């Protein structure tokens, strides 16, 4: 859903929308996240089943220049 919303905002530039989606998916789904992601803030939340869990609400990403370009 988040990628679809950004696509609507970036619809004037299809290449920008694809690049944003690629970056988003890489951040969320990469098996190598620990190599370029630093979690900087987490919060506790309660699931609908009453279990307390942690949620990441802020992180930093570090990319090599060739990936960023």
Q: What is the pLDDT of residue 49?
A: 95
The reported pLDDT for the residue numbered 23 is 84
Intervals of the chain under pLDDT 50: none
Give the pLDDT of residue 47: 94
DSSP string of 5-36, one letter each residue = HHHHHTTT-HHHHHHHHHHHHHHHH-TTGGGT
Residue 56 contacts residue 22 (beta carbons within 8 Å): no
Output the pLDDT for position 20: 83
Supply the pLDDT for residue 1: 52
Q: What average pLDDT does the chain have? A: 86
Q: What is the DSSP letter of 12?
A: T
Report pTM: 0.61
């Amino acid at each position: 859903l988040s990628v679809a919303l950004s696509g609507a905002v970036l619809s004037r530039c299809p290449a920008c929308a694809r690049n944003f989606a690629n970056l988003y998916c890489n951040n969320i789904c990469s098996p190598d996240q620990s190599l370029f992601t630093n979690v900087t803030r987490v919060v506790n939340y309660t699931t609908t089943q009453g279990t307390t869990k942690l949620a990441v609400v802020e992180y930093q990403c570090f990319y090599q220049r060739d990936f960023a370009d």
